[in-house]
Amino acid sequence: MLSQADVNELLDLDQLLYALEEGFRALSSGRVDIAPRTAVNAEREGFLQSMPGYATGLGFGVKLVTGFPQNHLLGLPAYQALIALFDPATGSPLAVMDGTRVTAIRTAGAAAVSARHLARKDARVLAILGAGVQGHAHLEILPRVRDFEEIRVASRNAESAQRLAERDPRAHAVATSEAAVRGADVVALCTSSVAPVIQRSWVSPGTHVSSVGFAPPGGELDRELAESATLFVESRAVAFQPAPVGCMELVGMDAEQATEMGEVLLGTRPGRRSPDEITVYKSMGHAVEDLAAASLVYRAAVAKGAGAAFEL
């Protein structure tokens, strides 16, 4: 049994980025068996989703994640989760761990992987839209892939933006999303907005945009931007389906126009092709990312003797 404190201590973020890259490669090369996520609704607009999966060399398990958008009124995270890992050779249970931290940092980590491979090498200005759990996670991990000199933070709650900006000396809060986005080299959308928080006209040539927000029935990513930019996703088979499987913002678009991040990493399809190209990575979240992160935690726990052993 691994607590959130255990996960925080055991999960090396640089290793996580490499594990996520391997997960993307496995996904695009067909080395995974992932069932579509299923969901049931509960009280207070809440839901429970199940995300089982297996990936060769990455793990065998399932994440159970709840989403309750009104939890901020109670001082609780909007998303909370448990992850169970099993032995892929015998099916024996190996570990149960907190999935709330895993979900937050693997989501931001996947966005960081997209920036590592799609943002311009000279990117120096980062804009983060959203100052909740994902805003914090993005601020924690995105500077590991580019040497940002300025980080702009915008949120519908100005106090939240200011608190997040105080966590990094390069960061400062700005009054509007437009002020954050104009002139930025990398834009990270991590809100719970049911409507677009960005407009195509704000985005400069050469910008890389990532979007991880999930808020049915709408979404934070501008459709015009998604259609006009070079689009990257985790999985074409998943991203263009209706919620809860896919991304609301992409429904109805031609899936073949998108490139999977794993294809970029495998070299089978191109990533950024010019300095002026606008690239967009739209994430739905994928079980292979949870397996990659949870397996790292489990292996570190075994090596260090961390966590609490128990028998079922």
CA–centroid distance for 97 within its chain: 19
233 with 189, same domain: the answer is: yes
56 with 195, same domain: the answer is: no
Q: What percent of the chain is predicted at pLDDT more than 70?
A: 100
pLDDT of residue 168: 98
Domain hosting 20: range is 4-102+288-304
69 with 147, same domain: the answer is: no
38 with 154, same domain: the answer is: no
**pTM for the complete prediction?**
0.95
47 with 177, same domain: the answer is: no
Confidence of residue 277 (pLDDT cuts 50, 70, 90): very high
Which CATH number do you get for residue 249?
A: 3.40.50.720
30 with 72, same domain: the answer is: yes
In angstroms, the CA 157 to CA 70 distance is 15
Q: In the 8-state DSSP scheme, what is residue 35?
A: P
In angstroms, the CA 96 to CA 271 distance is 37
144 with 37, same domain: the answer is: no
| pLDDT > 80? residue 241 | yes
253 with 299, same domain: the answer is: no
87 with 127, same domain: the answer is: no
Phi/psi for 41 (5° steps) reads -95, 155
Within-domain flag for 96: yes
Helix, strand, or coil (residue 205): coil
Within-domain flag for 198: yes
Number of structural domains (the chain) is 2
Is the previous residue joined to 217 through a cis bond, with omega within 30 degrees of 0? yes
Confidence of residue 66 (pLDDT cuts 50, 70, 90): very high
| pLDDT > 90? residue 200 | yes
Which of 84-93, 125-134, 238-247 shows the lowest per-residue confidence on average (mean pLDDT)?
Answer: 238-247
Phi/psi for 279 (5° steps) reads -115, 145
Q: Which two tokens stand for residue 203?
A: 């985005």
Residues 6+ apart with CB under 8 A from 185: 119, 120, 122, 123, 124, 125, 126, 146, 204, 206, 207, 208
Which CATH number do you get for residue 13?
A: 3.30.1780.10
Within-domain flag for 113: no
144 with 279, same domain: the answer is: yes
Q: Mean of the per-residue pLDDT values for the chain?
A: 95
140 with 92, same domain: the answer is: no
In angstroms, the CA 89 to CA 174 distance is 52
32 with 84, same domain: the answer is: yes
Within-domain flag for 111: no
In angstroms, the CA 171 to CA 165 distance is 5
